[in-house]
Amino acid sequence: MMSLFVRWFGGSILCFFAFIPAWILYHAIADVIGNPKEIDLTWVMAVIVCSSLLYFLLLLAYRAFTGRGRKQDGGLLPPLALQIFGALFGALAVIAIGFGIYEDKPRMVVGGIVYMCGVSKLSRVLKARKNRHQIGEGEL
């Protein structure tokens, strides 16, 4: 009973701290909807940092509430989160390659190709984790 209380209390504290980046993110997006000319590098960085921090704190809160850890998920992040990050990272790689070709910047093209190598490695990790998980279920 005490461990359940501690888990829920910890999850509640994490949700409380997740409220701060959520508040900043909400107002940043609301301001831009009202005036799209406010989008600049500072706004983009604020949105990236706040959304990343919000995701991290909510992931920790989820793990605190459910009591599920890395071992149950099979890794640091849940498989769906890794798939979403992989897709976004792959889209960023394609955009970098396309922009590098358009602007005639070979370093950007090479950087995009390196990103694609990271995405392919992530997809292999996800496949291996899925296969390991399916093998584990078959043994039950």
Domain residue limits at 11: 1-68
Is residue 74 domain-shared with residue 62, that is, in the same domain? no
> What pLDDT, in 10s, does the model give residues 4-42?
888 888 888 888 999 999 999 999 999 888 888 888 888
Is residue 77 domain-shared with residue 34, that is, in the same domain? no
Is residue 48 domain-shared with residue 2, that is, in the same domain? yes
Is residue 4 domain-shared with residue 45, that is, in the same domain? yes
Long-range Cβ pairs for the range 61-67 (8 Å, 24+): 61/11, 61/12, 61/14, 61/15, 61/18, 62/11, 64/7, 64/8, 64/10, 64/11, 64/14, 65/7, 65/8, 65/11, 67/7
Is residue 37 domain-shared with residue 78, that is, in the same domain? no
Is residue 74 domain-shared with residue 137, that is, in the same domain? yes
Is residue 64 domain-shared with residue 74, that is, in the same domain? no
> What pLDDT, in 10s, does the model give residues 57-82?
888 888 888 877 666 655 666 777 77
Is residue 140 domain-shared with residue 76, that is, in the same domain? yes
Q: How many domains does the chain have?
A: 2
Is residue 100 domain-shared with residue 131, that is, in the same domain? yes
Is residue 49 domain-shared with residue 86, that is, in the same domain? no
